[in-house]
Chain A
């Protein structure tokens, strides 16, 4: 039972490049979310999903896309990377009314 698995752990991108951060969970959780963590700003919600085929925007969605074709996977796509997207990204999953389980994070640097 792996929990929430995020890949990659580290990534350096050039401005304008695109990439996909992968997130997979094996706990059959219906809710999945992506957060970014920046110093002094806590975890800010980018996008979230309440089930396969259902996604919604969080607090800071601009520049990011998501889709949820299966219960297990919730990839985050950066369409055209910008230096302002340099951050640590966390994926999380949970069931209704329970705590979230987090991946180990992806440290992204955009130069």
Chain B
């Protein structure tokens, strides 16, 4: 079984401040992890992904995330927030290998974190 918990449904930062969005996962097998962004009334866009290569992953728009197996975490960070970063962010997990059945086809999402950026 796999699950994702995003700590904080709303995060508010000032423009230029550090952005930190928290994601913890649970998976019975090694995971693949993803961060997606959704702007209002749009679909989901991939920010970055961890697929068992480097544990520090860089994505688009200056975002990065670090896979920490011991903490079962995959927190998303950006050193300096921009007004255009205001959106909803989703963390997601899938299985990295077959664990039997069809569960390897599932991609499970967290509840989402709405990021607000103040001028």
Measured between beta carbons, the chain A residues less than 8 angstroms from B109 are: 35, 42-45
Partner of B106, one of A54, A58, A97: A58
Give Cα distance in the complex from A45 to B44, angstroms.
Answer: 15
Closest CB of chain B to A53's CB: distance in Å? 12
Closest CB of chain B to A36's CB: distance in Å? 11
Measured between beta carbons, the chain B residues less than 8 angstroms from A99 are: 34, 46, 49
* Contact indicator B106/A42 (Cβ below 8 Å): no
* Contact indicator B111/A42 (Cβ below 8 Å): yes
* Contact indicator B32/A100 (Cβ below 8 Å): no
Interface residues on A, range: 20 to 34
* Contact indicator A45/B110 (Cβ below 8 Å): no
Interface segment among A11-19, A20-28, A75-83, A102-110: the answer is: A102-110
Partner of A45, one of B43, B49, B106: B106
Give Cα distance in the complex from A60 to B46, angstroms.
Answer: 24
Within 8 A of B (CB), among A20-53: 30-31, 33, 35, 40-45, 48-50
Give Cα distance in the complex from A94 to B110, angstroms.
Answer: 18
| CB of B84 within 8 Å of the partner chain | no
Give Cα distance in the complex from A96 to B98, angstroms.
Answer: 10
* Contact indicator A50/B111 (Cβ below 8 Å): no
Partner of A97, one of B96, B102, B108, B110: B96
Measured between beta carbons, the chain B residues less than 8 angstroms from A100 are: 34, 44, 92, 107
- Besides A33-B107, A103-B43, 4 more A-B contacts (Cβ < 8 Å) are A40-B9, A40-B111, A40-B112, A99-B34
Chain A interface residues toward B at CB < 8 A: 30-31, 33, 35, 40-45, 48-50, 54, 56, 58-59, 90, 92, 94, 96-100, 102-105
- Can you spell out 26 A-B residue pairs with CB atoms less than 8 angstroms apart? A31-B107, A33-B105, A33-B106, A33-B107, A41-B111, A42-B90, A42-B109, A42-B110, A43-B90, A43-B112, A50-B105, A54-B102, A56-B102, A58-B106, A59-B108, A90-B44, A96-B104, A97-B51, A97-B94, A98-B49, A98-B51, A99-B46, A99-B49, A100-B107, A102-B44, A104-B42
